[in-house]
Amino acid sequence: MTRTTEPYAALPPRDDEPRLAGHALRYTAHVDPVLRIVDANGNRAREALRVMEEAARFVLNDAELSSELKQMRHALRTSLDRIPGLIASRDTPGDVGTDISTQTETKRRSVRDVTTAAGKRLSEALRAIEEYAKTISPTAAGEVERLRYRGYDVERRLALRLGAQDRPQWCVCVLLTESLCTRPWREVAQGCIEGGADCIQLREKTLAGGELLTRARLLVEQCQPKGVAVVVNDRPDIALLSGADGVHIGQRDLPAADVRAMTFGRCLMGVSTSCIDEARAAIRAGADYCGVGPMFATTTKDKKVIVGPAYLREFVERFPDIPHLAIGGITPDNVGELHGAAGVAVSSVVCGADDPAGVVAAFTAAVERADDAPSG
């Protein structure tokens, strides 16, 4: 150790001294307060790392992320071992902070809330260790500083993997394209709302940016008061500017990881997938839901390979907690083949219908039956 201190003598409390959480201020004699600080924050940091590791391991099944968090726990222990006397300095009964808490500490809405709180706790604890350890062991302080920067990165990666606070599982999402509509597009959108669609995706490949933004804002204004989500195809910038609920991208669009970084905490992100490898990559990049398909041949997209219902069954089995939308050539006649489907995305069969509301209502009923059917 490079630091020496005079022991702190125990002093009797005065009657006029403040009280915390109903207890008089406590005094600990002959214990180095810096060692107590480092020890307490070491415990706090290890606990935070364990909480994050369990989410990576059991919630996400992410071997790489859980392994890194485990390595960080061991690295922290190694650094703290450079400072003798930590455990001996521990005085939990004499710690005035054990009875101090805030209301937010007792409330967690989701796993993401739990891990977010753990990540913040980790960075705060590591910073405290780093600063106070400089007076005892500069080597340990330097190692903890490097761990702190690793912690910032792993907190971000874990948050992105966990996705949005609320991941909706839509039942029927209509891909709205004006050129496919036999009626004005806003009338078609209204029919989708009346028929029970819970999401409308604006899919206009040829509109200029300004016109697309105007249309997205009109659609948001029309849908969101009715509780219907709006997703913009391909364009995260338009989704954010219009106040849409999400953006959907394909395999040839902007990289999912970059779109997630742009939209995280601001809107949902969906990714089209046609195999388990693509789905796994999309989920690792932070997709809130996956498009799964194509299920059948479709006139709206030229797909050389039709993966079919078998891929849907595999997706649901591998990723039961990730919302999905089966897509590609789905009609009221064949939707019954999609056993286990919780949601579908449809386009021309609704946009080109004389009665969009009726078609959407038929899909809603059919999907509810398909979701209840065995997926095997």
- Could you list the active site residues? 203, 272, 301
Q: Which residue in the block uniquely carries the two structure tokens 């106070």?
A: 132
Q: What is the C-alpha separation between 115 and 125, in angstroms, rounded?
A: 15
Backbone torsions φ then ψ of 66, nearest 5 degrees: -65, -35
Nearest of 57, 50, 54, 39 to residue 72 by alpha carbon = 50
Burial code (b: 16+ CB inside 10 Å, e: under 16) for 264-283 equals eeebbbbbbbbeeebbebbb
Those residues with Cβ within 8 angstroms of residue 148's Cβ, 6 or more apart along the chain or in another chain: 123, 126, 127, 130
Q: Which residues of 132-145 are buried (b: 16+ CB within 10 A; e: fewer)?
A: bbbebbeebbebbb
With H, G, I as helix, E, B as strand and everything else as coil, classify residue 26: coil
User: Taking the CB of residue 182, how many other CB atoms lie within 10 A of it?
Assistant: 11
Three-state DSSP at 255 gives coil
Cα–Cα distance for residue pair 246/288, rounded to 1 Å: 9
Quickly tell me which residue has 């709302």 as its tokens: 193
Q: How far is CA 100 from CA 27, 46, 127, in A?
A: 16, 20, 21
d(CA 367, CA 205): 28
